[in-house]
A and B are shown apart, each in its own frame.
Chain A
């Protein structure tokens, strides 16, 4: 019979990998700080990315808690509107560019070489460079908070002319930091593409790759396509602010709407950059704990590609209220509604994978299941937002805030947490502490839904976003959101505890930490994964039925 694609891989290289783990052929690495500064090892750089993103996650989280504290009840209590606007802006920028994106890049650094049987990333020095650009970029960004006039206060979407003519003096530093973060993303994406296309184990075809690798391959192309657009638009801002051009200044013949077109041409694919790798993680975890192969592997790959292509056609749905012509509104409405189809396919596939499986509820699975439910809720509100006439009522309200947080926090972030719990045994050699993990999960689920679900109601009832104070009828919803956010925020400290405990010790994990129902290559190397793996490429076998 003809070979089946995708195949069940049979692995023969465990012994070679274990041997390679001794790293006999390697020079002793520099010690202390220098070792981390100069490392070109994909696992160490992956770890750096993950620690960096966790740090940023807490900084961005503190900003979010300042916002929620001020919104706890009507009136101005804790911060002035000037600072409130800086907090909402910095929260958005830090979470998008500093927490979610580097977390996925960290997972990619760790797992892509392991999943395709490569010894390292294709361009290790570039890899080191892309990481170390990030602390520079975000150090610069955070320092703007201390500058005269304060940091960016114009929202993470930095619409001109609020961010140009009317921006604080520190805006130029903000632009520079976005440039640096953008370069880091582009270099990282190039590295990932080069690795995936050139360094797969002999015999592994594209359609044999785990979905996490596939989703990252597609995400990388999105990054390369849109990051230069972001760089372009911030450069135009830079010119407007410092060199007297009038790209976005209406008084000089410029066009403020052009800014939004450019920003969202970057911004919408950016949204998918933050969710596609999450699909990949969940598509690895659900089959493992359902003890059953992923349903519709090929359609998952196609759906990811379809979402990526459609993501370039829908930016206008962020701009339904700017006064586009009717044809434009209709085009973007139809294109946006189409995205529901491939997204639906993915959810159906995950459910079909669980159907007639043999399901257990370890921590990674809990987070992955919560992801499916909560991401779908975010998808539903997205579908509602796609209906342009109704969007006139939703636009720029807390309904939108609820929507994108459902996709990004109970969605993308939960997938990242799921991935961390799933791969922690591989990284540290120990299982995460079960009780603590479960507490972390349940407190997170309760906190996150208490935070974001009431925002649907406050938005529908008429509360605009980005306001430091609100009318009295929104008080109850905001109270609930604030209580939820504090539960959610503080329960993330449990996650830090889990990681620290797991790194220090705990129940030993074998190579195949989650059983033998998954045949992804990372489970063929010992736990913890030695610094150097797959120095001799494993041979990838497709089973003959």
Chain B
């Protein structure tokens, strides 16, 4: 009897928790895109089908366990097959599955139709940040984790959006069809924002497509969903969905800023300017592997501070940053960073942490090398 009560309690907990599961924050979000509601609907349909089957099967099982207890003198019957029953319980699940496959197929067809997009955004995964490029608009930027390391290490109080905040969010217009093109510069990543119901692997050498039409303005947060190395847990995604006009204004501003930056290539830069700019670039791009103090974490990520080859051979240093080291984790930054950023970060690493070479690498020099 006591065993039975515990089993019954177990069933109650299961039923109870399935109720709680419908509460907010415990379930898949309904989302804000034209397809996310449909996907949520599929999820709930199959969930309730499972609940009903579960109640029937477990009900029959617990009834048998209770009703036919040996301790209550139950005598076992002697049947061991029944063709009719077996046909029924094979055919009924088959029909349920066909009923489930039809709406799932319809939704999948919609997901697989990225045609007639109003805006194309190239999303590139990198260890460990996302790079966004508004195709045909000359606007592109990196999006890095903005949560301070001190919060992660528990030295500061954690903010509301701990680990789900970035320095520059992806800005998208609502009510327009946005087509994403996913690729990667190094290992596999996966771009996922639950509220948009978009998850797609970004794979080196491949370009995957997906699309979204956001229906409500707001800020939507997600994370990389494919193990991509040490900082896999630290490359979040933030999408800021804004009204169409606001988006157009924002894009125009960004285009202007990009043009201004391009002008900076030709002028002569001061050491201090480059060091300041370079420190920022190093912090957001390089420090995740080579560590904030340039000490690296050998053998995978060599130290930069006091690195003899780096100090002695400026040419090799520039070459390595521009083109990466094949067969290692060092990527090519020639298309990720612009010439100003490249010159700044190279100057910075040549002069920080006691490297003290005194070398100043000018953006124009980098621009020349990039054209070779």
Structural contact, A76 and B152, CB atoms closer than 8 A: yes
| Chain A residues with CB under 8 A of B226 | 159, 321, 396
Q: Is A508 an interface residue (CB 8 A)?
A: no
| Chain B residues with CB under 8 A of A290 | 68, 76
Q: Which among A96-104, A108-116, A453-461, A518-526 touches the partner chain?
A: A453-461
Q: Is B58 an interface residue (CB 8 A)?
A: yes
Structural contact, A75 and B153, CB atoms closer than 8 A: yes
Q: Do A337 and B101 contact each other (CB < 8 Å), given the known contacts A326-B109, A387-B46, A469-B163?
A: yes
| Chain A residues with CB under 8 A of B228 | 162
Structural contact, A389 and B93, CB atoms closer than 8 A: no
Please tell me which one of the listed residues A250, A344, A397 contacts residue B205 in the complex, with CB atoms under 8 A apart.
A250
| Chain B residues with CB under 8 A of A467 | 223, 232-233
| Chain A residues with CB under 8 A of B297 | 82
Q: Is A274 an interface residue (CB 8 A)?
A: no
Structural contact, B227 and A390, CB atoms closer than 8 A: no
Among B214-244, those with CB < 8 Å from A are: 221-234
Structural contact, B75 and A358, CB atoms closer than 8 A: yes
| Chain A residues with CB under 8 A of B43 | 384, 387, 390, 393
Q: Is A21 an interface residue (CB 8 A)?
A: no
Please tell me which one of the listed residues A77, A149, A161, A466 contacts residue B204 in the complex, with CB atoms under 8 A apart.
A161
Q: Is A132 an interface residue (CB 8 A)?
A: no
Among B226-269, those with CB < 8 Å from A are: 226-234
| Chain A residues with CB under 8 A of B234 | 81, 469
Structural contact, B68 and A159, CB atoms closer than 8 A: no
Give the Cβ gap from A302 to chain B, nearest Cβ, in Å.
10
The interface centre, meaning the residue of A166, A355, A389, A445 with most chain B CB atoms within 10 A of its CB, is A389
The count of chain B contact residues (Cβ–Cβ below 8 Å) is 104
Q: Do A329 and B230 contact each other (CB < 8 Å), given the known contacts A159-B188, A393-B197?
A: no
Structural contact, B76 and A357, CB atoms closer than 8 A: yes
Q: Is B29 an interface residue (CB 8 A)?
A: yes
| Chain B residues with CB under 8 A of A457 | 21, 26-27
Q: Do A442 and B6 contact each other (CB < 8 Å), given the known contacts A75-B158, A461-B26?
A: yes
| Chain B residues with CB under 8 A of A351 | 57, 60-61, 64
A159 to B189, CA, bound (A): 11
Task: Give chain A's interface residue range (CB within 8 Å of chain B).
Answer: 35 or more
A167 to B62, CA, bound (A): 50
A470 to B233, CA, bound (A): 7
The interface centre, meaning the residue of B25, B201, B299 with most chain A CB atoms within 10 A of its CB, is B201
Q: Mark interface residues in A349-368 (1 if CB within 8 Å of B CB, else 0).
A: 01111111111110000000
Q: Which among B129-137, B314-322, B323-331, B352-360 touches the partner chain?
A: B323-331
Among B133-158, those with CB < 8 Å from A are: 151-154, 158
A83 to B158, CA, bound (A): 23
| Chain B residues with CB under 8 A of A384 | 43, 46-47, 50
Sampled A-B contacts (8; CB under 8 Å): A149-B300, A296-B86, A321-B200, A376-B58, A389-B38, A389-B104, A393-B39, A472-B162
Residues of B within 8 A of A (CB): 3, 6, 10, 14, 17, 21, 25-29, 38-39, 42-43, 46-47, 50, 53-54, 57-58, 60-61, 64-65, 68-71, 74-81, 85-86, 89-90, 93-94, 97, 100-101, 104-105, 107-109, 111-112, 127, 151-154, 158, 160-164, 182, 186-188, 190, 192, 194, 197-201, 203-206, 208-209, 221-234, 297, 299-300, 326-329
Task: List 15 other contacts, CB 8 Å, given A353-B80, A360-B71.
Answer: A81-B230, A153-B229, A162-B188, A166-B229, A251-B326, A290-B68, A296-B80, A296-B81, A338-B97, A358-B70, A377-B54, A390-B28, A396-B226, A464-B233, A466-B232
10 shortest interchain CB distances as A-B pairs: A250-B205, A467-B233, A323-B208, A380-B50, A360-B70, A250-B204, A356-B77, A292-B76, A354-B64, A389-B107
